Amino acid sequence: MQPLPSLDTRASRLLADHDVTSLAEHIAASSNCAPARARRAAAKAFHHAFAGDHKGDAPWDDDALRDGGIGRWARPALLVLSPRIELEIAERAPSEDGAERLLLRARDGALFESVIIPAQAGRDRARTTLCLSSQVGCARGCTFCETGTLGLQRQLAAAEIVDQYRIARRMCEPGTPDRPGDKRLTKRRDAALERKDESPSERSGEQQRAPEHFERPVSNIVFMGMGEPLDNLGELTRAISLLATQQAFAIPPSHITVSTAGVADKLAAFFRDTRAELAISLNAPDDERRNEVMPINRRFDLKTLRRALVDSLPPGRRVLFQYALFAGFNDALEDADRLAAYLGDIPARVNVIPANPGPQSDLSSPVDDRIDAFVRRLHARGVTALLRQPRGRDVGGACGQLAGARRKGAERESRSCPSR
């Protein structure tokens, strides 16, 4: 098989292209020290560079590293690396529902996207989910996905994955101008304050509660952006390792979910190399229909995919299955029965996703009654299922829509928004 294109990171000078293991190897090779000592220095370096990253760039010179407790023997190896963000924001596209799509430009000019999704209401209102990309484009060619129309341009390096998070985290920091979701929440608050049927005390209470709604750190990461993550497994797992490193960004692996179209021969390696959660895009209950919308099924059919999952799933782990509903294609009650039978005794839950507008106009969302009936049927069959509402659809940021709606214009743009 032809290797997939990637950015050459062999000569990378970016700190975020490393995790603790690879940075320790770099330090040990440069200083000829013991591996355990190099790992301690690597952890200190990550803490110095990234623990306060949401506040801006940490100082990175010999004095700063010395003050960070890093010995003289390790500092030369670290100072050849840069902790700075090298991505630029080429476009910000805020949605009416509070989500925000970001078009990002890499140092070689490549464009890819991420989406910031603040929770809307309820007990999760302080949660913000970040949807990350793992490739520039995608080779898998799912017919309902805009990204597939771009083809695969190249892999993303670990630093480019991590820096998507760093940019979003800084944007979501309290007090940052134009925070994602702020405009929508301000409108909601102002509308509530203008209601004439409220008492002064109620209006005051609304004002007092408003700041609580604005406290939105990035709390969850989903790799459901551009690309097939398991086609870039090495860079992906190194990026996840750094994101989860306690001394750096300290994101619990249980708050990181990686979505795959079903690259069955990579599942064992995924579970071996990372403790992140797994999501599988199924989207059809049988091979005939899945072949139509997901070409990967011709290589890894449903039986093969299920066997690989059952064989590699660690004890105590659960899998998220994603099932996009298309009107008249996969939304019958009998399809819900087939889906439940396929899952069987796999520890799983299902996200049912009404189809978003995509490249194939005949694949559209069912009416609400049919969607609700499908979910109820899964519940009746003992399947844990959740109806997932689309977010960012109006700015091309919902599932299956990421393709850079203004990509050509952004490529011509000589100026870009600051990323830091």
Q: What is the pLDDT of residues 319-371, one digit of tens each?
A: 999 999 999 999 999 999 999 999 999 999 999 999 877 667 788 889 999 99
- Name the token pair of 360: 């194939």
* Rounded Cα distance, 416 and 376, in Å: 47
Q: Could you tell me whether strands 135-137 and 152-155 are parallel, antiparallel, or unpaired per DSSP bridges?
A: antiparallel
**Same domain? 67 vs 170:** no
Q: Does 10 reside within a domain?
A: no
pLDDT of 310 above 70: yes
Q: What sign does the dihedral 173-174-175-178 (CA atoms) show? A: positive
pLDDT of residue 394: 65
Residues 142 and 252 in one domain: yes
Q: How confident is the model at residue 390 (pLDDT cuts 50, 70, 90)?
A: confident
Residue 162 covered by a domain: yes
Q: Is residue 315 part of a domain?
A: yes
Last residue of a domain, one of 79, 98, 114: 79
Amino acid identity, position 185: L
Residue 188 lies in a domain: no
- The domain of 333 spans 88-181+216-412
- 179 vs 156: which has the higher pLDDT: 156
Check whether residue 131 and residue 67 sit in a common domain: no
Q: Which are the catalytic amino acids?
A: 113, 399
Q: Which of 69, 65, 102, 108 is nearest to 83 (CA)?
A: 65
> Is the residue at 418 inside a domain?
no
Are 313 and 319 in contact by the 8 Å Cβ rule? The answer is yes
Residues 145 and 167 in one domain: yes
269-279: average pLDDT: 97
Considering the domain boundaries, does residue 320 fall inside one?
Answer: yes
Number of Cβ within a 10 Å radius of residue 289: 17
Q: Please report whether residue 187 resides in a domain.
A: no
* Predicted confidence band of residue 205 (pLDDT cuts 50, 70, 90): very low
The pLDDT value recorded for residue 206 is 39
